């Protein structure tokens, strides 16, 4: 098999000075992790699952170090969060300085300037040069909820459309927007009213349907089943995350945006997973030049501290009554300090370019594997957000069992690897942008060997 060699570039960001190596000193999980997992079962709700029960004591660059002394290669970034790396020095310094000043006032009680500076930065970084406003929250789901509230208030309409394979969160409103039943929705209904679903553009599974045609199919369904006059917002991930790293065909997103604009429907881009350099642009919306009315962000925004945001057109964001939008912790000062340092790092360290380099390494090697192994049906994504869809080589049917075996084998070899996809047959690569090339390539070699043996 041909292996595409890529020149080694420097690691852009530090973190704790941990040896950047895969080092296994016990089986995975080791005895101390197993003991903690037993304690977890006695203390933590069984509904809170764990992908890989290795209990972490330190992390930085491209590794996570566990309680047994194993050093694992991180190909997940805590689900696309630690783009700048774990405990990146700039973030640590900024948060430590804030920690010594004050920890909380509640911005809606007694405000502070870092919240404003985060809003100014988001207004500048997000697509479009129109007047914008931002509001800060804690989690991705909470920001999605608020984007929907704001869109409803502004339009005076109620219906919201999400797409097949969508993921927008686990709260009552966002569960209704999320497509997949297991494990996210099963038994947790009833769901919120006035939420509808439209067909997605999924090139690998819709016969390569043209993006504009796929958008017109969705629009036709929306017009027939809901009516633009009832529709407050369309919400979509520009590249779907949990649903399987589905990149819609070119033209799909711009056609939807145009239709929304012509019909007084708020177009909401959920960039919770795709945002902040992850896809090789600052936002995935930048790739096709779409300008969302509202954008929802979280994950990569603050180097691992809990923060989320809604940014959008001033006239929409200013619609709610004073006091209509808020929360105790939203835009907490520690999270704002972290966000300012994190967003500065994306720009100063040119992490957009770094994400593209990582993408070239990932797609080069994964496409080489696909050429030789028909069970790799598709390699897709952008930048440092790349996935493979595993299928039965004979039938092309999704192969979740194979996916499970590959991921389990990679875990046993000390590589943190995540799955996704409606059919459970997608392996996703979301390395921290601070991972050294050598470690990324070693991680890929482990996955390749796991696939060969599975
Ligand atoms: N929108 C696009 O990807 C979170 C889910 C992890 P929260 N995705 C990871 C899990 O199993 O719960 C996500 C997302 C998109 C919204 C969310 C929700 O973000 O911060 O998890 O609420």
Q: Is 241 near ligand 1, meaning CB less than 6 Å away? A: yes
For residue 326, the CA-to-ligand 1 centroid distance in Å is 20
For residue 420, the CA-to-ligand 1 centroid distance in Å is 12
| 37 cis-preceded (ω within 30 degrees of 0) | no
Residue 360's H or E segment, with its range, is: helix 351-372
Cβ–Cβ under 8 Å, residues 138 and 264: no
Q: Is the pLDDT of residue 140 over 70?
A: yes
For residue 101, the CA-to-ligand 1 centroid distance in Å is 31
In angstroms, rounded to a whole number, what is the distance separating the alpha carbons of residues 379 and 371? Answer: 10
Neighbours of 452 (CB within 10 A): 13
> For 165-178, what is each residue's pLDDT tens digit?
999 999 999 999 99
In angstroms, rounded to a whole number, what is the distance separating the alpha carbons of residues 250 and 212? Answer: 8
In angstroms, rounded to a whole number, what is the distance separating the alpha carbons of residues 154 and 157? Answer: 8
Tokens 């977890």 locate to: 40
Q: Is 167 near ligand 1, meaning CB less than 6 Å away? A: yes
- 366: Cβ–Cβ under 8 A, 6 or more apart, which residues? 376, 379, 386, 388, 429, 444
Q: Is 237 near ligand 1, meaning CB less than 6 Å away? A: yes
In angstroms, rounded to a whole number, what is the distance separating the alpha carbons of residues 289 and 244? Answer: 23
- 43: Cβ–Cβ under 8 A, 6 or more apart, which residues? none
In angstroms, rounded to a whole number, what is the distance separating the alpha carbons of residues 260 and 237? Answer: 15
Mutate to test the pocket of ligand 1, among 52, 163, 168 (most ligand atoms within 8 A of CB): 168
Calculate what percentage of the chain has a pLDDT beyond 70: 96
Mutate to test the pocket of ligand 1, among 299, 309, 310, 327 (most ligand atoms within 8 A of CB): 299
Mean pLDDT, rounded, of the chain = 96
Distance of CA 177 to the CA centre of its chain: 16
For residue 7, the CA-to-ligand 1 centroid distance in Å is 34
For residue 453, the CA-to-ligand 1 centroid distance in Å is 32
In angstroms, rounded to a whole number, what is the distance separating the alpha carbons of residues 235 and 274? Answer: 14
CA distances for 63 relative to 66, 69, 178, 413, 436, angstroms: 10, 12, 31, 13, 10
Token pair in block for residue 336 = 């704002």
In angstroms, rounded to a whole number, what is the distance separating the alpha carbons of residues 93 and 284? Answer: 29
For residue 60, the CA-to-ligand 1 centroid distance in Å is 22
Cβ–Cβ under 8 Å, residues 358 and 384: yes
> For 237-254, what is each residue's pLDDT tens digit?
999 999 999 999 999 999
Please give the pLDDT value at position 15.
62
User: Mean pLDDT, to the nearest integer, of 356-360?
Assistant: 98
> For 15-41, what is each residue's pLDDT tens digit?
668 999 999 999 999 999 999 999 999
pTM: 0.96
> For 61-113, what is each residue's pLDDT tens digit?
999 999 999 999 999 999 999 999 999 999 999 999 999 999 999 999 999 99
Q: Is 398 near ligand 1, meaning CB less than 6 Å away? A: no
For residue 272, the CA-to-ligand 1 centroid distance in Å is 7
Which residues are paired to 385 by β-bridges? 382
Q: How confident is the model at residue 8 (pLDDT cuts 50, 70, 90)?
A: very low
Neighbours of 254 (CB within 10 A): 16
Cβ–Cβ under 8 Å, residues 201 and 214: yes
User: Mean pLDDT, to the nearest integer, of 1-6?
Assistant: 38
Neighbours of 301 (CB within 10 A): 30
Please give the pLDDT value at position 17.
82
Q: How confident is the model at residue 5 (pLDDT cuts 50, 70, 90)?
A: very low
Q: Select from 142, 196, 174, 156 the least CA-distant residue to 310.
A: 142
Please give the pLDDT value at position 376.
98
Order across the sheet with 418-420: list the strands.
Answer: 376-382, 385-390, 426-429, 418-420
Q: Is 242 near ligand 1, meaning CB less than 6 Å away? A: yes
Mind giving me the DSSP string for 164-223? TT----SSHHHHHH----TTTTTT--PPPSSEEEEPPP-TTTTTT--HHHHHHHHHHHHH
């Amino acid at each position: 098999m041909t292996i595409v060699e890529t020149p080694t570039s420097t690691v852009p960001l530090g973190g704790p000075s941990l040896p950047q190596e895969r080092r296994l000193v016990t089986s995975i999980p080791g005895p101390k992790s197993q003991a903690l997992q037993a304690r977890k079962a006695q203390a933590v709700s069984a509904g809170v699952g764990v992908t890989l029960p290795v209990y972490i004591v330190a992390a930085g660059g491209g590794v996570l170090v566990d309680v047994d002394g194993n050093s694992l290669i991180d190909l997940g970034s805590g689900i696309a969060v630690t783009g700048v790396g774990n405990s990146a020095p700039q973030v640590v310094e900024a948060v430590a300085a804030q920690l010594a000043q004050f920890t909380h006032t509640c911005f809606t009680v007694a405000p502070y300037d870092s919240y404003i500076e985060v809003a100014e930065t988001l207004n500048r970084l997000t697509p479009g040069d129109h007047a914008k406003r931002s509001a800060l929250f804690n989690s991705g789901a909470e920001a999605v909820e608020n984007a929907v509230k704001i869109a409803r208030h502004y339009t005076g309409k109620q219906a919201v459309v999400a797409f097949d394979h969508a993921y927008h969160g686990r709260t009552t409103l966002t569960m209704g927007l999320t497509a997949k039943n297991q494990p996210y929705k099963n038994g947790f209904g009833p769901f919120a009213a006035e939420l509808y679903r439209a067909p997605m553009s999924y090139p690998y599974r819709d016969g390569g349907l043209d993006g504009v045609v796929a958008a017109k199919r969705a629009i036709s369904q929306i017009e027939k089943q809901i009516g633009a006059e009832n529709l407050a917002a369309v919400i979509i991930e520009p590249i779907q995350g949990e649903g399987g790293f589905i990149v819609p065909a070119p033209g799909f997103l711009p056609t939807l945006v145009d239709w929304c604009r012509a019909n007084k429907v708020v177009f909401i881009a959920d960039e919770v997973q795709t945002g902040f350099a992850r896809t090789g642009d600052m936002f995935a919306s930048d790739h096709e030049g779409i300008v969302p009315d509202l954008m929802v962000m979280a994950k990569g925004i603050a180097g691992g501290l809990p923060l989320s945001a809604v940014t959008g057109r001033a006239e929409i964001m200013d619609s709610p009554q004073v006091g209509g939008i808020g929360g105790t912790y939203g835009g907490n000062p520690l999270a704002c300090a972290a966000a300012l340092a994190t967003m500065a790092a994306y720009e100063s360290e040119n992490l957009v370019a770094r994400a593209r380099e990582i993408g070239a390494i990932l797609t080069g090697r994964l496409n080489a594997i696909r050429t030789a192994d028909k069970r790799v049906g598709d390699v897709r994504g952008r930048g440092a957000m790349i996935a493979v869809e595993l299928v039965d080589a004979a039938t092309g049917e999704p192969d979740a069992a194979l996916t499970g075996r590959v991921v389990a084998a990679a875990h046993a070899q000390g590589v943190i690897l995540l799955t996704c996809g409606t059919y459970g047959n997608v392996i996703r690569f979301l390395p921290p942008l601070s991972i050294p090339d050598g470690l990324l390539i070693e991680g890929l070699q482990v996955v390749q060997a796991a696939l060969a043996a599975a």
